[in-house]
């Protein structure tokens, strides 16, 4: 009888080990597939969630964004979100520090990518098991061109964080922008916008007053793509600052490049548009 129980116990342990291995393979398949799905997109449309509690009380809550597929014109496709991006930061940091300086970790999970997976993938319901990317930013005491803010872009593979590159916010005298560095800290793209655009000086309901266009350039200065931030009209801007970003990917960009461009979009939002004071309050040196 004891022998039979031991055999049953051994079989049970073997099944548990096998199930754990299958689960790890499935999680990795989900992660890889989501990165591939991002690589297949012509562009993405990023929509920040409107937080009613924050609008009513003024108490800063963690930012949440949803990332949708977009066409070559930057218009959102009619399908579920590809990713959900959720900020993880301390309450103290959100209360005491402005968006352009506060430290945070942005967890990007396959919010919509699971709809492209086999039915078995839906067994994993916890967001932590669906994390595909992590964007990490530490607090840095910045002064003009010294110690500029950096955002580390990580890809989650086999429960390990694999670095894809870094987003750096250089010091601009007038314009605004960020630099995208690859895994070896070589300059990959420059994303810049002119502060002469109407948005920064006049908040009227017209289209030009609610739009900022960023140029995406390669190191030699050639413009290869565009990033557009669209705000709301005056009345809606008084309620909240949840805006939209439309990004058209450069032709020939790798899936890793597209992940970095997703990261730079969120970095731009924190650096220049996060606080309700708007970009007017953020044009000066950080």
Residue 215 confidence class, pLDDT cut points 50, 70, 90: very high
The whole-number average pLDDT for the span 79-105 is 89
Highest averaged pLDDT of the listed ranges 11-15, 207-211, 234-238, 280-284: 207-211
Question: What is the model's pLDDT at position 187?
Answer: 96
CA–chain centroid gap for 242, Å, is 14
| Closest by CA position to 142, among listed 98, 106, 180 | 98
The whole-number average pLDDT for the span 173-188 is 93
| pTM score | 0.79
List all residues 6 or more positions away from 1 whose beta carbon is below 8 Å from its beta carbon: none
Question: What is the model's pLDDT at position 54?
Answer: 61
Question: What is the model's pLDDT at position 53?
Answer: 59
Question: What is the model's pLDDT at position 1?
Answer: 54
Whether the predicted pLDDT of 4 surpasses 80:
no
Whether the predicted pLDDT of 21 surpasses 70:
no
pLDDT tens per residue across span 254-264: 999 999 999 99
> What's the token pair of residue 261?
């461009």
Question: What is the model's pLDDT at position 182?
Answer: 94
Q: Which residues pair with 84 in a beta bridge?
A: 66, 109
Mean pLDDT of the chain: 78
- Dihedral angle at the C-alpha atoms of 86, 61, 96, 104, nearest 10 degrees? 0
Any idea what DSSP says for residue 273?
Answer: I
Whether the Cβ atoms of residue 50 and residue 240 lie closer than 8 Å to each other: yes
Whether the Cβ atoms of residue 104 and residue 137 lie closer than 8 Å to each other: yes
The whole-number average pLDDT for the span 25-42 is 70
Whether the Cβ atoms of residue 263 and residue 119 lie closer than 8 Å to each other: no
Higher-scoring residue by pLDDT: 156, 106: 106
Whether the Cβ atoms of residue 279 and residue 240 lie closer than 8 Å to each other: no
Alpha helices in 91-242 (DSSP H): 91-96, 234-239
Percent of the chain with pLDDT over 70: 69
Residue 62 confidence class, pLDDT cut points 50, 70, 90: confident
Whether the predicted pLDDT of 140 surpasses 80:
yes
pLDDT tens per residue across span 248-285: 999 999 999 999 999 999 999 999 888 644 433 444 44
The whole-number average pLDDT for the span 1-20 is 54
Question: What is the model's pLDDT at position 280?
Answer: 38
Percent of the chain with pLDDT over 90: 39
The whole-number average pLDDT for the span 14-21 is 53
């Amino acid at each position: 009888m004891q022998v039979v129980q031991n055999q049953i116990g051994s079989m049970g342990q073997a099944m548990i080990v096998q199930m754990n291995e299958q689960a790890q393979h499935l999680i990795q398949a989900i992660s890889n597939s989501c990165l591939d799905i991002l690589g297949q997109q012509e562009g993405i449309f990023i929509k920040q969630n409107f937080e009613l509690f924050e609008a009513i009380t003024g108490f800063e809550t963690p930012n949440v964004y949803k990332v949708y597929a977009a066409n070559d014109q930057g218009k959102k496709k009619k399908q579920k979100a590809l990713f959900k991006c959720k900020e993880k930061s301390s309450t103290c940091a959100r209360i005491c520090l402005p968006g352009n300086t506060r430290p945070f970790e942005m967890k990007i999970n396959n919010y919509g990518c699971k709809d492209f997976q086999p039915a078995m993938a839906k067994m994993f319901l916890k967001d932590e098991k669906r994390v595909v990317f992590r964007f990490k930013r530490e607090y840095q005491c910045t002064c003009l061109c010294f110690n500029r803010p950096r955002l580390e872009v990580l890809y989650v593979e086999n429960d390990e964080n694999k670095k894809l590159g870094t987003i750096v916010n250089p010091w601009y005298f007038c314009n605004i922008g960020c630099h995208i560095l690859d895994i070896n800290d070589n300059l990959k793209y420059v994303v810049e916008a002119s502060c002469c655009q109407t948005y920064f000086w006049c908040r009227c309901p017209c289209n030009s007053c609610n739009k900022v266009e960023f140029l995406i350039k390669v190191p030699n200065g050639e413009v290869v793509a565009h990033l557009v931030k669209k705000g709301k009209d005056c009345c809606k801007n008084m309620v909240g600052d949840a805006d939209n970003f439309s990004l058209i990917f450069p032709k020939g960009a790798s899936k890793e490049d597209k992940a970095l461009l997703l990261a730079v979009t969120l970095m731009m939002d924190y650096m220049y548009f996060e606080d309700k004071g708007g970009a007017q309050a953020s044009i000066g040196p950080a």
